[in-house]
Amino acid sequence: MKQKFATMKAAARANPNSDHATRDQHLSKMADLITENSDAIIAAICEDFGHRSPIETQFGETLNALADIKHTRKKLAQWMRPEKRSVGMHFLPARNEVRYQPKGVVGVISPWNYPFSMAINPTIGALAAGNRVMIKPSELTPKLSALLAILIAQYFEADHVTVITGGVDVAQQFSALPFDHLVFTGSTKVGQLVMQAAANNLTPVTLELGGKSPAILDSEYPMKLAVEKIVSGKLFNAGQTCISPDYALVPAEREADFVATVTATARRFYPSIFDNPDFTAIISEAHFSRINGLIEDAQAKGATITEIYPEEVGKPANTRKMLPKIITNTSDDMKVMQEEIFGPLLPVVPYNGVDEAIDYVMDRPHPLAFYGFSNNSTFVEKLLHKPLAGGVSINDTLLHIVQNDLPFGGVGTSGIGCYHGFDGFKTFSHAKAVFHQSKINARSAMFPPYGKTMDRLLGMLR
């Protein structure tokens, strides 16, 4: 791993700022990798999960990455142009500009929940910015990780993009390399360790973490419309999505209607669970047990668990598919209200008045995502003005992350920095300030020895 890194650093030193044609070629290669191997990618991810809906893999992984590449190739020449900046009046006719230059070698540590797109999407931004990339995929998706290593080696030179596979010990060594930028997607706990390792090299980091992303329902918003978006966002990938709606804040008088509508909508979307090819399994036995532990803890502390599929309770399953559940009568001491769920459980928190709902969110760590359902502009503006969150979708869930011209990132415990589109290009570039002095200038008036001339000049500048 260290030798590969050294080779990449040497290559970046030899060619520190590739032109548009070269960068576009690399993006084209990545598009070819995806289109020519999509079936193999889908199959590998499905095997890693025990079962992963092929449709969800296409939406969340391959098509998502292809759309990002298409947008980036279309805009890249524009992004690469020097950016003109204004000049202070006293320095005219000089001129200012910002030039975006590659940082060098970028490290990407990707997660298991979207093992392909979360490895490739940051790589797209890094390649667009002219960098070289080392990828460390998750050990929890060994089939996809091994396939990714093979495909990257087939489509890219080893000194331009490479994949390092291995377990936790390899990830620790990887994060300790002196990258020019490091991207990590995963839990807040591991993100802290990655940031500590990067700090030893003063490596800048982009951390895409998680947290408890709320959905707030206005008292007058159509229940069916809101629930359809919340349920589809919650159960996509069986809730194993960092921006999944973690819990729902619902007007107290609408709570019973909300629970009934969630139940009916889930059963309409997924008539069954265990034998349904559209419903994804939980990634591992450890995560399956963790989610069951959240349910048991909530029950022991007084929560009500609503089984959406009571007829399938106790039914044997060949995979780690988990039956979706609604949790009501929640309290702050329950683990399900403290930890990111990352599974098909939906806690419901009743509120009285929008200010109470907003205070509930603001009393907790900043979420990665925030969802508001309202046609009332005053209600929406309150949601957008007060709580701080990484990203927001109004009257929908998840879709802000696939807008190629919007940044994706968290804030506080949900992350640091962002990427996607031009924001990703900037993240993986150094914005180099350039001042061009004109032939006609008054620079000599600032030379020592200082005297009355300098006093008059300072007087003019005050």
Confidence of residue 44 (pLDDT cuts 50, 70, 90): very high
Q: If you average pLDDT over every residue of the chain, what do you get?
A: 96
**Are the CB atoms for 324 and 235 separated by under 8 Å?**
yes
The domain locations on the chain are 2-209+410-434, 214-404
**What was the pLDDT predicted at 183?**
98
**pLDDT > 70: what percent of the chain?**
100
| Stronger pLDDT, 377 or 445, i.e. the higher one | 377
**What was the pLDDT predicted at 318?**
76
Residues marked as catalytic = 208, 242
**What was the pLDDT predicted at 443?**
85
* Average pLDDT of span 317-327: 92
CATH class name, domain 2-209+410-434: alpha beta
Q: Distance between CA 33 and CA 42 in Å, rounded?
A: 13
Confidence of residue 89 (pLDDT cuts 50, 70, 90): confident
What value, to the nearest 5°, has the Cα angle with vertex 255 and ends 389 and 414? Answer: 15
Q: Is the per-residue pLDDT at 462 higher than 80? A: no
Backbone angles phi, psi at 249, to 5 degrees: -100, 120
**What was the pLDDT predicted at 114?**
97
**pLDDT > 90: what percent of the chain?**
93
CATH class name, domain 214-404: alpha beta
- pLDDT tens-place string over residues 47-57: 999 999 999 99
Question: Is the dihedral angle over the CA atoms 293, 298, 302, 307 positive or is it negative?
Answer: negative
Q: Is the per-residue pLDDT at 11 higher than 90? A: yes
**What was the pLDDT predicted at 359?**
96
Confidence of residue 453 (pLDDT cuts 50, 70, 90): confident
* Average pLDDT of span 84-111: 95
Q: Which amino acid is residue 175, in one-letter code?
A: S
